[in-house]
Amino acid sequence: MTTTTSTTTAARAVTDTLQPRNVLVAGMSGIGWAAAGDWTGLPWGLLGALCAGLVPAGYIEWQRKRGTWGDRHVVDRTKRGPIFLVILTSVGFGALVMVLGHAPTGILVAMLALWAMTVVLLAVNTVWKISVDSAVASAVPALLAVVHSPWWLLAYLLTLAVCWSRVTLAYHTIAQTIAGASCGAITAAAFLLA
């Protein structure tokens, strides 16, 4: 196996393992638990993961099977608009359920931060392709660092791995991954440190 092939294989493994759906399932579950201070926050975190990660991933997979896109990466930015609208609707619905169900404040704030981040990603995407994978990989550690422990900032090593993988696979440029990661961090910080 050549160095290029092994690098591509490693990048593919990173991008598939740390895709937004997976990061959000793990991260939102942890945020829910930390926000409540015990296991009772876990269902709220799972609701957040469902709305922010699993519903959008399901929509992308459905469209992929219909032949709309070749794979989950949707490399053509002009075709990403419907995905952002599904995310905004799903996360908005989840946040409404959290408000009505008196969810812990931390998980509700995390949902609102993800909603705001998606608005920014949608706005940028209308003129320039930005990395959503990098944004999610950045937002989740930032949210966990504020809700749970600053030690979660060490997870930014995984964010760097996601950025590297997206560039290596030629899905994004370095600037697009930096912009995505910055959007995730700044959005989370703006909501949680205000």
Average pLDDT over residues 137-149: 92
| pTM summary value | 0.92
Q: Over 90: is that where the pLDDT of 94 sits? A: yes
Model confidence at 192: pLDDT above 70: no
**Domains: count for the chain:** 1
Q: Retrieve residue 194's tokens.
A: 């205000």
Reduced 3-state DSSP string for 42-99: HHHHHHHHHHHHHHHHHHHHHHHHCCCCCCCCCCCHHHCHHHHHHHHHHHHHHHHHHH
Report the chain's mean pLDDT, rounded to a whole number.
92
Burial of 189 (0-12, 13-18, 19+ CB in 10 A): middle
Mean pLDDT (whole number) for 13-35: 95
User: Residue 3 pLDDT > 70, yes or no?
Assistant: no
Q: Is the pLDDT of residue 19 over 90?
A: yes
Confidence bin at 67 (pLDDT 50/70/90) = confident
Average pLDDT over residues 51-71: 89
In this predicted structure, the answer to whether residue 99 has a pLDDT above a threshold of 70 is yes
Cα–Cα dist 3/9, whole Å: 10
- Which residue has 């205000």 as its token pair? 194
Q: Residue 190's pLDDT is what?
A: 72
The domain of 171 spans 3-192
**pLDDT greater than 60 at residue 149:** yes
pLDDT in the model for residue 90: 97
Sequence-distant contacts of 34-39: CB under 8 A, at least 24 apart: 34/106, 34/144, 34/147, 34/148, 34/149, 35/103, 35/104, 35/105, 35/106, 35/107, 35/110, 35/147, 36/104, 36/106, 36/107, 37/104
